[in-house]
Amino acid sequence: MAVTRNADAVAPVRSSGAFSIWLTRHASTSLASLGRLVRHPFSSLMIVLVIAVTLALPAAINLIVKNAQQISGSWDNALDFSVFLQPELTESEAEGLGRLIEQRADVESVVFVSASDALVDFKEQSGFGAALDQLPDNPLPHTLIVRPSAGNTSASMVLLQEELQNLPETEHVQVDTEWVQRFHAILDIVRQAIAIGAALLGIAIVVIIGNTIRLDIENRREEIEVTKLIGASNAFVRRPFLWTGFWYGLLGGLMALALVYYGLFLLEGPVARLAGLYQSNIAIASMNLAEGGAIIGIGIFLGLFGSWFTAARHMRRIEPR
């Protein structure tokens, strides 16, 4: 009797089967780790809250710097020169000089401010109108507000200032926004401080999660010994602790976002009132999607790293007796 081979008798081994088993085990472990956190709500909430505050602090300071940089962004394009002219110059001569300077390639625009207009503005803004009325003559000169073109470099700006100062009609040239450069230098220092502080706070998160995982390992020491006794590897035993660190990092990152957005919500009213007083359209810049995702990603990374480092360090010390 001939024996025939059925090609369908043996099912081929599919790689998707091993992957589905791996995925199922991880899903089961993740849900079990989350359930363990839910069963201890107070302690879990305290740890998540500490992580959230630690993540929210540098994010909030960085947001303040971002808003300050956005507000000062318009100042970068307004590095104006105030050219105070000689007192004996007439108004027509000053206007002609302004038209001549405006023809330069490195100048975007020139605004002429007459001495009489400057005196009126000064009276309104200083509050000394009655005292200024007693002066026999107008002490203010004609002024040209020179705005350099956007293509200027730092060297060309210095050269423009020197050339304006050397004009025979010029008495003094003042750079109106030199303080903007100092302000940006301060912002650079603050950004460096944020980076250093964020690194230190990140280490603090790793220590907090690591200490929590260490206590969890000690509380489950007998369970780990029994699991290893039946042949479980260190990677298998370490898996639930990694998921615990993942959940701590994820929940901490989400709560950090909630704290930052709540702070922005509280600031909307005062900022709107301030903008109304100055008749401007000041708006608070919020975090974009990438920045929000970065906070959550950093939280998850620190949670996984802290739990992995602690679990790997202590797991080798626990062996079946």
Question: Do 252 and 206 touch, CB atoms closer than 8 A?
Answer: no
Could you read off the pLDDT of 44-79 as tens digits, one per residue?
Answer: 999 999 999 999 998 888 888 877 766 655 555 456
Residue type for position 219: N
Closest CA to 311 of 219, 246, 242: 242
Could you read off the pLDDT of 211-260 as tens digits, one per residue?
Answer: 988 888 888 888 887 887 887 777 788 888 899 999 999 999 999 999 99
Question: Do 304 and 239 touch, CB atoms closer than 8 A?
Answer: no
Could you read off the pLDDT of 202-223 as tens digits, one per residue?
Answer: 999 999 998 988 888 888 888 8
Place of tokens 């993942």: 246
Q: What angle do CA 31, 36, 40 make, to 5 degrees?
A: 140
Could you read off the pLDDT of 136-173 as tens digits, one per residue?
Answer: 677 778 899 888 887 777 678 788 888 989 998 898 88
CA 69/CA 305 separation, integer angstroms: 33
> In the prediction, which pLDDT does 51 show?
93
- Helix axis angle, 41-71 to 234-277, nearest 10°: 40
Could you read off the pLDDT of 260-306 as tens digits, one per residue?
Answer: 999 888 888 777 777 676 556 666 777 888 888 999 999 999 999 99
- Cα-atom radius of gyration of the chain, to the nearest Å? 34
> In the prediction, which pLDDT does 198 show?
87
Structure confidence at residue 35 as a pLDDT band (50, 70, 90): confident
> Is the pLDDT confidence value at 41 over 50?
yes
